[in-house]
Chains A and B, each alone.
Chain A
Amino acid sequence: MSVQKEDSNNRLNTGGISTEQQLLHLFQIHDSAFPIGSYTQSFGMETYIQQNLITTKQELVDYCKSYLFYNLACGDAILVKESHQAAENKDYDKLVYLEQICNGMKLARELRSGSIKMGKQFLQTVLPLGESELMKEWKSRFDDKEIKGHYAVLYGIYTASHGIDKEKTVSRFLYASINGLIQNAVRAVPLGQNSGVQALYELLSLIEEAGNCVMNYTLDDLYNNALGIEMASMKHEYLFSRLFIS
C-alpha cells in the first residue's frame, strides 16, 4: 500500500500536462494492453457467432453498425458525455443519477456485471497513476458501496479530471468499443486479421458520424433500440460453451 502511495505522489497527476500528453494518455487508456478486460467481453455478439449469423467481414460490419448506432450511441456513449460534463461541474448528485441509470439500462445480467467489472479494473489501474479530487471522491463512494462503478461513468469522470476534451473522449470511446468487438470477432468467428483491419477501416466514418450524433444527444435520447443484441446478451448466459464472459 505504501508503494502505491509513493507512486501516486510521483507523477501523472492532472495539473499542468500538455494537450499532447493528455491525448497520449487517452491513447494509453484505450490500448489493448490496458488491463480492463475488454477482450473478455463480446456484449452479446458471441450468441450471434454461435448461431452462424456473423461469418463474413460484411456481416461483422453490419453487426457493428447496429451496435454502434442503436446500442453505444444511444446508450453508454451518452452516459460518457454526460458524466464528463457533470464531473467538470463537480455535480456529484448528477453523477450518482447517471450511475443508477447506467445500471438500470443494462437489463441483461452479464452486460450489467461486465460493465461493473470493467469499471473496477479501470479504477484499480488508474488509481496508482495519481488521484484527482474527483476520482478520490468517486473511489470513496465506491468503497462505501454507494455506487457500483460502471465503466462508462468512471471513464467520463477520469477523462474530465485529466482535462481531456469531451468530444475526443466520446469518439475514442466509440472507436475502442468497436475495435474491441472486431478484435474479438476476429478470434471467435474466426476471420483473418486483414478482414478485421478492413472492417474497422470501413467503420471509421460511421464512428465519426455516431460521435457527432452523441454530442447533440441528451439523456432524453437514451434508448435501448438494439433489441436483438439485448436478446442475444440475455441468451449468452445459457450458451453451452463460451469464449467470452458476456
Chain B
Amino acid sequence: MLEFQKKNGLTCLTDCFQQSPLKASRALYLDDKEKATVYLMESSGGLVAGDRNEYKVHLKKQANVCLLQQSATKVYPSLNELSSAQHVSVQLDGGARLEWMPEAIIPFKDAKFNGDTMIRMKRDSTLLWGEIISPGREKRNECFYYDEFRSSFQIWVEEECLAYDTLHLSPTRMPLQQIGLLEKSLYIGSLWFVSPEVQSISIRDLHDKFKISKDINASVTGLEGKGLHFRWLATDLWALKKEMNKIWNQLT
C-alpha cells in the first residue's frame, strides 16, 4: 500500500505498508523535481500457483508519481491447478498524476494468471498506464503454452466507466491464431492516457507517427474526449517496446 501526498511543492511517499516479496523503493527525484519515482520490486522471482500480489496506490491531491516495475512479472506453472493473482487498485484524487509502466507479464508453460486492475480517478487527474502481455518464454520456444490468462482492467472517471478491458486467453481452448483474434501476433501492448490534456492532442497526428511493419500493428482511439487508448499487436518484443516508449515520451 502506497500513499503519496504533495507537501511544499514536493510529492512525498507519506505511507508505505509492504510485505515480502513485494517491496517499494524510497521516493527518488530524477529530472523532474516535483515528481516522485518509486521502483516496485518483487523479491521472490515470480508468482507461484496460488500466490496473490496486491498493490494499493493512493495519490492525494496534486501528487505527481511515476511507478516503475523493476523486472518482468513471471508467472510459474500451476501444478496445483490454482491461479496466480495480481490485484491493483489505484485512486487518484483531484489534480493528481500517475505514470505506471510495468515490464511484461510472462506466463510460463501451464501457468494460470488472474489479474485485476481498478483505477478510480477524478476528472482533473491524469493517468498514463502501460501494459505488455507476453505469450510466454519466446526465446525457449514456449509461446502460448500457458493454461489460462485472465485480466480485467477498468478506468472509472468519477461515475463514468471510461474503459472496461477484459481478456481471457486460453490457448488450448481457443483458436488464437484465427482471423479476428491474435492472428500472427505474440505480444499485446496497451497504453492508456486519461487527462484533461487530451482535449488539445491531435489523435490523427499520433496515429500518423505509428510505425507499422510485419512485426507490429498499432492503432489509437479517443475515449469520450477524456482519454486515449493505444493498442499494439506485435511479433517482436523489442520493436513493441520501442514504439510504446516513443508514444510514452510524447505524452510525458
Contact = CB atoms under 8 A, between A and B. Distances in A.
Contact of B169 (A112, A225, A228): A225
A244 interface: no
A226 B175 CA distance: 11
Interface string A62-79: 110111001100100000
Interface in B27-72: none
Contacts of B168: 74, 221, 223, 225
B91 interface: no
Contact of B231 (A48, A63, A71, A227): A227
Interface string A228-246: 1111101101100000000
Given A66-B179, A103-B161, A226-B181, A234 B221 contact: yes
B1 interface: no
A109 B180 contact: no
Given A107-B229, A225-B174, A227-B231, A70 B167 contact: no
A232 B163 CA distance: 18
A105 interface: yes
Interface in B137-183: 154-155, 159-169, 174, 178-183
B117 to A, nearest CB: 13
B220 interface: yes
B233 interface: yes
A227 B229 CA distance: 13
A224 interface: yes
What band does the interface of chain A fall in when counting residues whose beta carbon is under 8 Å from B?
35 or more
A227 B223 contact: no
B196 interface: no
A62 B220 CA distance: 26
Given A66-B181, A107-B221, A225 B160 contact: no
B207 interface: yes
Report whether over half of chain B's contact residues are helix, strand or loop; otherwise say mixed.
strand
B94 interface: no
B95 interface: no
Given A107-B221, A224-B166, A231-B217, A238 B182 contact: no
B165 A107 contact: yes
Nearest to A100: B161
Contact of A70 (B162, B181, B207, B224): B181
B123 to A, nearest CB: 16
Contacts of A235: 219
Interface in A187-246: 221-232, 234-235, 237-238
A235 B162 CA distance: 20
A100 B231 contact: no
Given A108-B221, A228-B233, A234-B231, A223 B167 contact: yes
B166 A223 contact: yes
Given A48-B180, A223-B167, A224-B166, 12 more contacts: A53-B179, A66-B180, A100-B161, A109-B223, A222-B166, A223-B166, A225-B169, A228-B185, A231-B219, A232-B180, A234-B229, A234-B231
Chain A to chain B: the 4 pairs with minimum beta-carbon distance, closest first? A66-B180, A104-B164, A104-B161, A234-B219
8 contacts: A66-B179, A70-B181, A105-B164, A228-B181, A228-B233, A229-B180, A230-B231, A234-B221
Interface of B: 154-155, 159-169, 174, 178-183, 185, 188, 204, 207, 217, 219-224, 229, 231, 233
